[in-house]
Each structure stands twice: as structure tokens, then as C-alpha cells.
Amino acid sequence: MKVFHSLDSIGQINNPVLTIGTFDGVHLGHQKILKKLVEQAKNINGESVLLTFYPHPRMVLYPENHGLQLIQTQEEKLASLEKTGLDNVVILPFSKEFSRISAWDFVRDILINAFNIHTLVIGYDHQFGKNREGNINYLKDMSHSFDFNLVEISAKEINDVNISSTKIRKSLQNGKIEVASSFLGRPFLISGTVIKGDGLGKTIGYPTANIDINDDTKLIPDHGVYGVEVQGLSGKHFGLMNIGIRPSIQKKENELRIEVYIFDMNDNIYGKRLKICLIKKIRSEMKFDSLDLLKKQITNDEIAFRDYITEHTPC
């Protein structure tokens, strides 16, 4: 899969079959649409293209109150898109200036002059251009004027996508990881860099890796302890992730921490980039009256999750 970050860098794309969207989560509903896109491109000896934007348009248009909680970071999304068989992803920089482009200019300058599209695959409710003046009926007219094929994604397919996205977000917010993963078609993922913490876990025999996500728009699941698989290290590693404010030992009030205790791991991994698959919620976050009680609970959590992974196939 080729990834482009500007129109100038694209070059020649053979018979482009193109769709437009954010595709946050790249869940099963998205995958169904992208599979059709890839198949249509193959049928005409063409190439599939996803045109998307970064930053997310709402971050630019409503910087103070965009309210975004995205299922994936940009890095995570691109990794998921690559698995769909897409040939090309074009990520255009979104700005206030870009938002003022008319529907006519978008079709002529981008879809035709930049891509020379063969086929546009688009939702029945898609709107674009300044003041959202372009829609499916406008595109039908343009397809005749500029001689490209238009494939409309039905209301049912779009509604299925929207319902799936909503269910995934609500499931994550409620800590229902397995429900979210079933709609995603894979385990929910958190990726980040290991940074130094306060080292308290090591003193009770459970050293943890503190994870810095460095993305304020990433949706973080409900506070609690989760059984996880850690990717990015040599070999296969499982562990326990705590998401929350650590009420038993917090030093800064209500400071959110994401920490992973990795089973059978004693290496120095500061600075490592990890991908962490959340497999199962073990319990909600709890406050303990002593570190001994906390340690005992972590031991029980570890036993419970080790038993679980002997009977299930995680990531």
C-alpha cells in the first residue's frame, strides 16, 4: 500500500477507483466497503484509492470544542488499512482554506485533474465543498460532465457503518472490550512509547511500563485492569494493563496513567514503541488500604488472565 501526503506526490495511478472518508477504526463495516472498492479496481485492472484528511476536519473547524474521541490514531489506522488490500491512501492536509474549496473546484481540481478517476464510490449522504454544497445528486451530474462512473453506497451500508462506530465507542467507554473487538474484527489496540514512571511497581514485584500515547483524540477505555498482548518486543508477551488514576498510590490527583505489567519481562524497554492489544477486562479500578493488598490482587489478576489465555487464542 502506497501512502501519499500531497496531491503533487501522487504520480500516475491506473484507472483509480476512489472513495472518500475518515474510516476511523477500520471496523467490519468499513472493511466491507473497502473490500468492494478493491474488487472493483481489480475488475478493471485499476487501483483502489482512499482519499482522507489530516488533521480531522473537526479539529480545524472547531479547535476549542471538537469533542473527538477516535478509535484509532493515524498510525494505527494506516496499519489497519494496509491489511484491507488497498493500493493507495492519500492523506490531504486539512485547513480552513481547504474547507472553503467549492464543490465544483473539488471535483475538477482534485477528482479529475489530480486523480483522473475512473470510478467514485461514495455514500448516499456524502456532502462536500464549501458550505457542504456538494452531494450525491451533484456528483451524478458531474459524473456525466466529466465522464466518470459513480457507485452509490446504500443507506443500509452507511447506517451499518455508523451503528458499528457508535457501538464500538460506547463499548470502550463502558469497558466492554470483547464487544468492541467483535465489531472491529480484531482486538482494540493502544499504541505508545514507554516512558519513565515513578518505579513503584518494581518495589512490590510488579514492574510496569508507563505508556505515553501522545494523542489527545485517542479514545481511552473505561478505567480498570485489562488482560493484554504486548507487541513490539522479541517474542510473544502477555500482561496486565491498568488504565486509571491509581487511587491506592496516586501522587497527582486524578492524573490518568496507562501502565502495563508484562509477564516474564525484565528487560529495559524505555523508549520502545509498543502496540498493546486489549483482550479482556479483568476488573474495575479499585482502591486498596495497603500495598500488600494491592500486590495480592495483582497476583490474583495475573493468575486469572494466565488461565484465560491457556484456553483462548488472543491477538
Cα torsion angle, 74, 71, 32, 112, sign: negative
- Whether residue 220 sits in one domain with residue 91: no
Torsion of CA 103, 105, 110, 113, to 10 degrees: 140
Same domain, 36 and 149: yes
From residue 91, alpha-carbon distances to 2, 51, 200, 232, 281 in Å are: 11, 6, 42, 26, 34
The answer to whether 279 touches 228, Cβ cutoff 8 Å, is yes
Number of domains, the chain: 2
Give me the pLDDT at residue 199, please.
83
pLDDT at 64: 86
Q: Are residues 141 and 214 in the same domain?
A: no
**76 in a domain, yes or no?**
yes
In tens, the pLDDT along 183-194 reads: 999 999 999 999
pLDDT tens for residues 158-171?
999 999 999 999 99
- Specify whether 35 is located in the same domain as 134: yes
pLDDT tens, 27-79?
A: 999 999 999 999 999 999 999 999 999 999 999 999 888 889 999 999 999 99
Within this chain, do residues 134 and 89 fall inside the same structural domain, yes or no? yes
- Residue 250 pLDDT: 66
**Is the residue at 172 inside a domain?**
no
Instruction: Identify whether residues 218 and 287 lie together within a single domain.
Output: yes
Cβ-proximal residues to 197 (8 Å cutoff; 6+ apart), any chain: 208, 210, 257, 259
Kindly state whether residues 202 and 112 are assigned to the same domain: no
- Long-range residue pairs from 269-273, CB within 8 A, at least 24 positions apart, any chain: 269/194, 269/209, 269/233, 270/194, 270/195, 270/196, 271/193, 271/194, 272/193, 272/194, 272/209, 272/232, 272/233, 273/191, 273/192, 273/193, 273/232
pTM assigned to the model: 0.92
Please report whether residue 178 resides in a domain.
Answer: no
Instruction: Say if 176 falls within a structural domain.
Output: no
* Same domain, yes or no: 228 and 143: no
**In a shared domain, residues 307 and 198:** yes
Residue range(s) defining the domain that contains residue 69: 2-166
Domain-located, residue 180: no
Q: Which of 109, 131, 166 is the last residue of a domain?
A: 166
CATH number at residue 208: 2.40.30.30
Q: Are residues 133 and 47 in the same domain?
A: yes
Same domain, 70 and 159: yes
Distance in angstroms (rounded) separating the CA atoms of residues 46 and 43: 7
Could you read off the pLDDT tens digit of each residue along the chain, which spans 315 residues?
A: 999 999 999 999 999 999 999 999 999 999 999 999 999 999 999 999 999 999 999 999 998 888 899 999 999 999 999 999 999 999 999 999 999 999 999 999 999 999 999 999 999 999 999 999 999 999 999 999 999 999 999 999 999 999 999 999 999 999 999 999 999 999 999 999 999 988 888 888 899 999 999 999 999 999 999 999 999 999 889 999 999 988 777 666 678 999 999 999 989 999 999 999 999 999 999 999 898 999 999 999 999 999 999 988 666
Are residues 68 and 21 located together in one domain of the fold? yes
CATH number at residue 87: 3.40.50.620
Is residue 70 situated within a structural domain? yes
